A and B are shown apart, each in its own frame.
Chain A
Amino acid sequence: DAGVIQSPRHEVTEMGQEVTLRCKPISGHDYLFWYRQTMMRGLELLIYFNNNVPIDDSGMPEDRFSAKMPNASFSTLKIQPSEPRDSAVYFCASSSHRGPSYEQYFGPGTRLTVT
């Protein structure tokens, strides 16, 4: 079975540019999570969805960040405009509450560098 798929795997962009990160969760999973990981702050939850509906976006840093989930098999995280402090690894994860409680499966991550 395919795991969580993220694209791109690496992104290098200049300050001020728009960045779009993409995620395809595991089929049948009803929860999708976006995380950011840095050395200084560790793994931070940005936003999560249940059945395509955003449930908690309290971790989104500021209005420059937005996330959408138009259907059960696709989500995007957009940063506009990007800043150097946004440089981090962004993980997408999905889970199903029909199975073992709350185990989340992570994608390989997108390593973002903003210069």
Chain B
Amino acid sequence: RKEVEQDPGPFNVPEGATVAFNCTYSNSASQSFFWYRQDCRKEPKLLMSVYSSGNEDGRFTAQLNRASQYISLLIRDSKLSDSATYLCVVTRGGSSNTGKLIFGQGTTLQVKP
């Protein structure tokens, strides 16, 4: 089983739609959680950190459920520019917590006019 699992998609949605991505992780000791965004043929970039209380940044909302080891990303009012691959990322926690990020395979979003 992969340490971080995501539905690869692709998710094809019309502009203005609300879309949600889910991610599960296997290491219960993981301590930090992120969503990264990667545009086609570009490098990954941090989209937002994910906190236990949930956090929002404009149209984007991230939530963490430690009990279920589940992370989600909600995008409201989708824009064409949101088309990208979204990578779920966790740090390996416990005694080996050394800043090493574990990346999911990514979920591809295509927003259509």
Binding site for B on A (CB under 8 A): 31, 33, 42-43, 45, 48, 50, 55-56, 91, 95, 97, 100-109
Contacts and interface: CB of A to CB of B under 8 A. Distances in A.
A52 B102 CA distance: 21
Contacts of B104: 42
Given A50-B98, A100-B49, A106 B44 contact: yes
A4 to B, nearest CB: 8
A109 B45 CA distance: 12
Contacts of B101: 33, 45, 102, 104
Nearest to A103: B46
B99 interface: yes
Contacts of B34: 102-103
Nearest to A30: B99
Nearest to B87: A43
B91 A102 contact: yes
Contacts of B106: 42-43
Contacts of A31: 99
A8 B38 CA distance: 20
Given A42-B105, A102-B32, A107 B99 contact: no
Interface in B40-62: 42-46, 49
